[in-house]
Chains A and B, each alone.
Chain A
Amino acid sequence: MPKDSGIGASSKRREDVRFLTGTGNYTDDINLNGQAYVHFLRSDVAHGRLTSVDTSAAEAMPGVLRVFTGADFAQVGGLPCGWQVTDRHGQPMQEPAHPVLAQDKVRHVGDPIAAVVAETREQARDAAEAIVPEIEDLPAVVDMKAALEEGAPKVHDDLDSNLCYDWGFVEENRDAVAEAIETAAHVTRLELVNNRLVANAMEPRVAVGDYSRATGESTLYTTSQNPHVIRLLMGAFVLGIPEHKLRVVSPDVGGGFGSKIFHYAEEAFCTFAAKALNRPVKWTATRAEAFLSDAQGRDHVTTIELALDADNNFTAIRTETHANMGAYLSTFAPSVPTWLHGTLMAGNYRTPLIYVNVKAVFTNTVPVDAYRGAGRPEATYQLERVIDKAARELGVDPIALRRQNFVTEFPYETPVAVAYDTGDYNATMDKLEEIADFDGFAARRAESEAKGLLRGRGVNCYIEACGIAPSNLVGQLGARAGLYESATVRVNATGGITVMTGSHSHGQGHETSFAQVVADMIGIDADMVEIEHGDTANTPMGMGTYGSRSIAVGGSAMVRAAEKVIAKAKKIAAHLMEASEDDIELKDGQFSVAGTDKSVAWGDVTLAAYVPHNYPLDEIEPGLEETAFYDPANFTYPAGAYACEVEVDPETGKVTIDRFAATDDFGNVINPMIVSGQVHGGLAQGIGQALLENTVYDESGQLLSASYMDYAMPRADDMPFFAVDHSCQTPCTHNPLGVKGCGEAGAIGSPPTVVNAVVDALQRGGHDVTHIDMPLTPARVWQAMQG
C-alpha cells in the first residue's frame, strides 16, 4: 500500500500552487524602490587586446548614471576558483586571474568589457551601444589539442601555456596499467567526444544589488543554487565585505542544473555598483547572454582502452581525456574532469587496475564547469560505450558481459579511491529486463522492419558518487571549502515547526519532501512543518544544492537537528508526566510513558518549552530550537540500469526514441512522485545530449549555437513516456535516512544508452558502424551509414 503521508508518500507539492497561479517570487520579479538597470557591453571577439574603452558618448546619453570599465575594478579581487588540482608531478594547476570586467584582454565572446547603469533597461542598453572599445584582434584558440601545441596563442599571457593541469590518477598505477593492457587477451579501444552543452535553466540568471548607507549592509538577490557560497566567495574574495554586512537571497529559482552554483561577475558587479551609486542595481540576462556567460558543461575528448582476459573479465582501464576549461576557471571547474570523473571510472565493475589521465586546457571559449552529473556522465559514457564495443568485438551479449563483471560484494574498494558502501547491480538489471519488456523486443523489431525502420536496443549501467561530500576528504583533494550541510529546526510554542535549511530548492520540491521527513519523525501532519531556504539572513551557513546532495546531506542535517529537538522534548515530557526520561516514547505526536497509559501531546510539550511554568529550568533551558551541521562520512552511490529502444529511419538517419526504461537504486525514497520527476528530467537532458544538443564554436571562437534557433533543446515531441522504477533499494549505510540522492542519475545514465541503441540498430541493419559522436543528428547517423 502506498503511504499517504510522511516518508515514502507521494505527497503533492505545496510549492505548486504559487507556481501554478503566477505568484512565485523569482529574482526578476523583485523590483526595489529607486532601482536602476545595468547592461553589459560584451566582447564580440574571442581573443583580443583591449587597448582603450571610450565611454564618453555613452555617459552623455539620457538616463545614464555611470559607465563602469575594468579600471573601476582594478583594485577589486577577481572571481575565485574553489578547487585546486595538483598535477601528475605534484605541481599546483595554473590558475589565471578572472577579473569582474575585462582588464587588458578579452578572452571569449561574451567577456564583459563595460557596464552601463541607467534609469531604465532600455536606456542602459542604448547607451552600451555608444561605448567604443578598442580591441586589437589576436588569434583565438578553440580546439584543445591545437591550444597545447608549441607556439599556440596563449589565452593568458602570464601563464606558461594553455595547459591548466596534467592530472594522473592513480599515478602509481600508470605502469602497471600499461603492462596489463599490453599483455591482455583482448583490448577494446574507443575515441569519443563528450559534446559541450549549455545548461539552459529556463530562468535566465538575474542579479539585484542593494545597499543601505544607514546600516552599511549590502544585499544581493540572485538566481543561485547556494546563496551562502556566493556570500562567502563574493564577500571574502571579490568585494571584501564581511558576512555580517552582506546578505544573499536566492528566492524561487527557475532551474539550475549546475549552472547556478558558480559565482558570476554580474553578481559582484550589481553588489559593487549598488554601493557606488547608492541605488539598487538590477541585471536580467537575455537568453543570448545566458549562452555567452553561463558556465557550460562537458566538452571532453577521450580515448579509452578496456583490457579483458581470455574469460572476458575486465583487467584494466586506461583513459586519456582533454577537458576544456574555457577562458577562465569557473568556481568548481578543475574538480569536474578530475575528482568527479576519475573516481567513477570503475563504474559498476570489478576492474583491478585503472589509470586516468586528464589534461585540462584553456581556450577562448565560455568557461566550462559542472552541469547535471558533472564528470560522472563523462565517466559513464566512455566506460559504457567501450564495454558495449567490447561485447560486439567478442561476440558476447552486452548484458551478460556486464553482469559477469559486476561488483557483487559490498563494501567495495575501487582502485580509484572510493568505497561503495552498498548496492545490488543484478537486482536493478533484473528489474530493467522486466519493465523494459525485453521479451517483446523481437516482435517490435519485426514491426519496425515492416515499416522500413531499423530498431535497436541499448542497455547501460551507471554508478555515481553523490551526497557530496566528506569535508576532510575533499580538502585533501583540493577543495577550498567544506561540503557539510546545516539545518535549524525551530519549534514554535503551539507546535508548528519552521525548518531553516542550507539546501536550496530550484525545482526539487524540498518544501514538500523535507517537511515529510520531520513530520514523520514526530508523527504530526506535514502541514505543521514549513521549510525555509535561500536567504542567508535566516538560514544557517550551508553549502547549497548540487551533486544530488540535498536529501543525503541537507536532509541528514535536518534529521540530526530534529533528533536534538526530540531529545529535549522528551526531557520536558518526562518532567510533565513525572516519569523517567528513558521511559518516554514518541509516536503519532504523543509522548507516553512506556507501560502506562500516561501521555502528553506534542503541543503540550512545545507550549511548556515556551511557557515554562511547570518546567525543569534547573536542568534545561526554555525554548525548543536546535541546529545541526552534518558532514557526511562518505559519498553515496546511487546506481542503476537503463534501456532504450530506438527506431532509425535509414532514408534520413533520423532517430526516434520509442521506449525508455530506467531502474534506479536510490536507497530509501522520501517522495516517490518527486523522485520519478527528477529521473524524467534527467533522462530528457541526457537524451537531449545524445540526439540534439551541441555547443558549436567556429575557428575564430564565435559561438554559432547562441540561441534556441541554433541550439536544439529537447521538446515534448522528442520524448516518449518513460518507464521508471526505484523499487530496488539498498539503503545507504552511513546517513540517517538511508538515502542516496536522485537528481543527476537520469542525465548520467541515458546518453550511452541511446548511443548503444543506435549503434545496435545500425548493426542489426547490416551497417558496420561501431561509434558515432553525440549528438546523433540525422546528418551524422546518415553519414555513418554511408560508411
Chain B
Amino acid sequence: MPQVSMTVNGKPASGEVEGRTLLVEFLRENLGLTGTHVGCDTSQCGACVVHVDGQDVKACTMFAAEAEGAEVTTIEGLAEADGTLHPLQQAFQDHHGLQCGFCTPGMVMTGVALLDRNPTPSEAEIRDYLEGNICRCTGYHNIVKAIMAASGQDVSKIAAE
C-alpha cells in the first residue's frame, strides 16, 4: 500500500493507505482524529470540513493521497495549546450554536474559513457560505449569530436568548 505524509495540526503524520482511502478516513482511522465527522456519502453535509493548505475542504471528497505534503488543520488543532478556545469556538458556546455537536466541527472550520476571507460578513453572506453545511439541530439561528458575534458585530438585537 502506498505511503502518505502530511502535516496535521502542526505535526508530521504519515501512514499506509489504499488508493481509495479518503482524507477523512485517514484522519479518523489512521490518526485517531475523530473530531472530523462523516454525515453523508454525497459531499453534501459538511460535517467533514477541515483546512488543507488554508482552504476549507470537505475531507470526504479528497483522497488521502491527494493531501500528500499538505498542511492540514482539523477541529482538534484550532484551540490554543493551553486549551483557550479559538474566538469562533468561544462564540459558538456563548451563543448556543451547537446542540448534538455532530455538525459542529465542520461548521466551525467553515466559519473560520469564511472569517479569514471576509472579516465582517453580513447575515446573508454567512447563510450563503454555509450552504454546504447541514445542521439538523439548531435551525441555524444561533450558528449564524455566533459567526456574526465572532466577527465583532452587535448581535444583541437578534431575537431570543
Contacts and interface: CB of A to CB of B under 8 A. Distances in A.
Interface of A: 10, 12-13, 15-24, 26, 28-29, 31, 122, 200-204, 252-255, 257, 286-288, 435, 506-509, 672-678, 680-685, 707-709, 713-717, 719, 721-724, 746
Nearest to B106: A202
Nearest to B144: A716
Contacts of B123: 721
Contacts of B20: 122
B39 A20 contact: no
B49 to A, nearest CB: 12
Contacts of A13: 93, 96
Contacts of B79: 20-21
Given A681-B139, A684-B138, 19 more contacts: A19-B100, A20-B101, A22-B36, A24-B35, A26-B37, A26-B102, A28-B38, A29-B34, A122-B18, A287-B42, A509-B99, A673-B161, A677-B137, A677-B142, A680-B138, A680-B140, A715-B127, A715-B131, A721-B145
14 contacts: A17-B85, A19-B104, A20-B89, A22-B36, A28-B34, A252-B101, A673-B96, A677-B99, A684-B140, A707-B41, A717-B124, A717-B127, A717-B128, A717-B130
Contacts of A12: 93-94, 96
Contact of A287 (B18, B41, B135): B41
A255 B55 CA distance: 28
Listed residue (A253, A288, A713) with the most chain B CB atoms within 10 angstroms of its CB? A713
A30 B138 CA distance: 26
B40 A287 contact: yes
B8 to A, nearest CB: 12
Given A677-B138, A680-B141, A722-B160, A708 B127 contact: no
A23 B93 contact: no
Given A12-B93, A21-B76, A287-B39, A202 B34 contact: no
Interface in B30-50: 33-42, 44-45, 47
A508 B35 contact: no
Contacts of B127: 715-717, 719
Name the prevailing secondary structure of the B interface residues.
loop
Contacts of B76: 21-23
A254 B41 contact: no
B121 to A, nearest CB: 12
A64 B37 CA distance: 27
Listed residue (B92, B141, B143, B145) with the most chain A CB atoms within 10 angstroms of its CB? B141
A22 B75 contact: yes
The 6 A-B residue pairs with the shortest CB-CB distance in the complex, in nearest-first order? A22-B35, A19-B101, A254-B102, A507-B100, A684-B139, A708-B44
Contact of A202 (B35, B78, B102, B128): B102
A629 to B, nearest CB: 27
Contact of B37 (A10, A23, A254, A257): A254
Nearest to A287: B40
Contacts of B131: 715-717
Interface string B117-161: 000000110111011011111111111110000000000001111
A724 B104 contact: no
A286 B41 contact: yes
A708 B102 CA distance: 17
Given A21-B85, A22-B33, A674-B96, A713 B136 contact: yes
Contacts of B47: 202
Given A17-B93, A254-B37, A722-B159, A708 B75 contact: no
A12 B79 CA distance: 18
B108 interface: yes
B103 interface: yes
A202 B135 contact: yes
A665 B43 CA distance: 40
Given A507-B101, A721-B123, A716 B96 contact: no
B160 A723 contact: yes
B137 A681 contact: yes
Interface string B64-100: 0000000000111011000001000100111010111
Contacts of B33: 22
A670 B90 CA distance: 23
B148 to A, nearest CB: 10
Given A23-B35, A203-B39, A723 B137 contact: no
Contacts of B158: 721
A681 B138 contact: yes
A326 B102 CA distance: 29
Listed residue (B35, B100, B128, B137) with the most chain A CB atoms within 10 angstroms of its CB? B100
